Amino acid sequence: MCYNYIVTIKLRRCIDILSKIRNIIGDSKLAYVRSFGCQLNISDGEKIKGLLKNAGYRFTDDETKADLIILNTCAVRENAEDRVFGIVGSMKKLKEVKPSLIIGIAGCMTAQSHIAEKIKKSYPQVDFVVGTSALSSIPKLLLDCLNGQKFGVDISEYDDFSAVAEQVRDSSFKASVPIMFGCNNFCTYCIVPYVRGRERSRKADDIVAEVKGLVQNGYKEIMLLGQNVNSYGNDSGEANSFPKLLRAVNDIDGDFIIRFMSSHPKDASEELIDTIFECDKVAKHLHLPLQSGSSDVLQRMNRRYTAEKYLEIVDYIRSKDPAFSLTTDLIVGFPNETDDDFQATLDIIKRVKYDNIYSFIYSKRTGTKAAEMPDFTPDEVKSQRMRKLLEVQREISSENYRRFIGKKMRVLVDDISKKREGYVSGKSNEFIIVEFEGDKSLIGQFVDVEITDAMNWAVMGRKI
């Protein structure tokens, strides 16, 4: 049966159930939805809110006032899961105070059957569990709870309802647009392919139409999302079609900036890099996750590139612009990472001079290949390496950021500064945090700023 047809049937069924819920709850019930993890999950959280809005719920940021709580979880590291278990545990009290409270757990944690079982067994305050691939089941599970059923669970696979679901967006000027779902790469440390399924790309026309709508509604930043955007279109037989998609989005009229994440180095082509330089709306920044500077570790991670191949891509970018902004993800303490392996990572970050790194201590994930690998590196050594990595990067960032002093940067203001009163904070085209004097009326606007000072986490400036 045609895939779109199935999604349309699901959408109709959902609309029907949502109206039944509306009839039961009226319009005074409050929902609290909290998302953890990556931007794709946050985007799913906005779609869960879309469903709840159509069921008649309004939203609160205060879980003690809520009639319905949905936690949209992340499973990428153990500490992310522990945090959610802690929060779910503390919700027992809320349920004691308000027995009619409904608690649902969604997202990547619940897509693992052993976690769904654990929640069912040890957390009786939870009413339903729904996997990442079964968003369209939320209305049915909710209706069952409202009709007094005890515990509902749906962790079935491949429900790309997410592609068509209405969204209640958290921001009125920055929008995430998933272009594909799932991942085929099976990096040996990573749980994502197990909880998000195989790659499924959305149609380019649908993506372009969505972006057009967002831009017409005043959105200034569009973030195209996928676990590996470089394999966008591969599942429909159109290899290397992400650059084409970027060009199509770039052709949309309007004053907005295009970002994308993540770009797997094994598929980062020269065509992609040329496209970034040729498209005026595409941000001049690339997030290129390295994970480790050691080719040996990269092989054990199944990353399918070597450190040398990675540096070739960097050299190609820097041959076009020596100051081009790069950021990366790094894992410290992969099983049996040696001192030499770690030194290779330090060597690469000193050579590439990233503007920022996102670094994580390796976390063992049940069901992945790396979880079976022997690991003799003590935890204390891993922590020491992490501290060293952060220390080296701090020096690199503060030196790097000085290149912007005296320059003009175009900044999309996203908030008031958390550090200085009377200041606002935003991101430059190069994805650098910029702070300058201003008030909240600037939030959501592009502002030209002259950079006057640099720190290791941001640059400071004054509005031109």
Interface positions with ligand SF4 (CB under 6 A): 183, 185-187, 190, 192-193, 227-228, 264
Binds 362: which of ligand SAM, ligand SF4, ligand F3S, none (CB < 5-8 Å by kind):
ligand SAM
Measuring CA to CA, which residue among 256, 117, 94 is closest to residue 174?
256
- Count, residues in the chain: 464
d(CA 84, CA 70): 11
What token pair was written down for 398?
Answer: 């503060």
Contact residue for ligand SAM among 189, 219, 256, 404 (CB under 6 A): 189
In the numeric block, which tokens belong to residue 423? 């200041």
One character per residue 57-76, x = contact with ligand F3S (rule: CB under 6 A): -----------------xxx
227: contact with ligand SAM by CB under 6 A? yes
Site for ligand F3S in 157-196 (CB under 6 A): 191-192, 195-196
Helices (H) and strands (E) in the chain, counts: 13, 19
- Rule CB under 6 A: choose which of 202, 220, 300, 365 binds ligand SAM: 365
**Closest separation between CB of residue 199 and ligand SAM, Å?**
11
Number of residues in contact with ligand SAM, rule: CB under 6 A?
A: 18
Of the two residues 39 and 445, which places its CB atom closer to ligand SAM in the complex?
39
**Residue 152 engages ligand F3S in binding (rule: CB under 6 A):** no
15 CB neighbour count, 10 Å cutoff:
12
Partner in contact with 186, chosen from ligand SF4, ligand SAM, ligand F3S, none, beta carbon below 5 to 8 Å by kind: ligand SF4
Direct distance between the N- and C-terminal alpha carbons of the chain, in angstroms, rounded to an integer = 58
Q: What string marks each residue from 19 to 58 as x (binds ligand F3S by CB under 6 A) or -?
A: ------------------xx-xx-----------------
Nearer to ligand F3S, 40 or 311 (CB): 40
Q: Give, as ranges, the residues between 99 and 118 that touch ligand F3S (CB under 6 A).
A: 108
Cα(183)–Cα(189) distance, rounded to whole angstroms? 13
In the complex, minimum distance from the CB of residue 39 to ligand SF4, in angstroms, rounded to a whole number: 12
- Token readout for 143 is 């209706």
CA distance 289 to 251: 28
Quick check: 135 binds ligand F3S (CB under 6 A)? no
Output phi, psi for 84, to 5 deg. Answer: -65, -45
Q: Is 310 in the site for ligand SAM (CB under 6 A)?
A: no
The verdict on 363 binding ligand SAM (CB under 6 A) reads: yes
CB 386 within 8 A of CB 342: no
* 76 interacts with ligand SAM by CB under 6 A: yes
Q: Which of 132, 136, 230, 291 binds ligand SAM (CB under 6 A)?
A: 291
Helix, strand, coil percentages, rounded to 5, for the chain:
45, 20, 35
Cβ atoms within 10 A of the Cβ of 425, count?
Answer: 20
Enumerate residues 6+ apart whose C-beta is below 8 A from 435: 417, 419, 420, 423, 424, 425, 458, 459, 460, 461
Q: Are 385 and 431 in contact (CB under 8 A)?
A: no
Contact positions vs ligand F3S (CB under 6 A):
37-38, 40-41, 74-76, 108, 191-192, 195-196
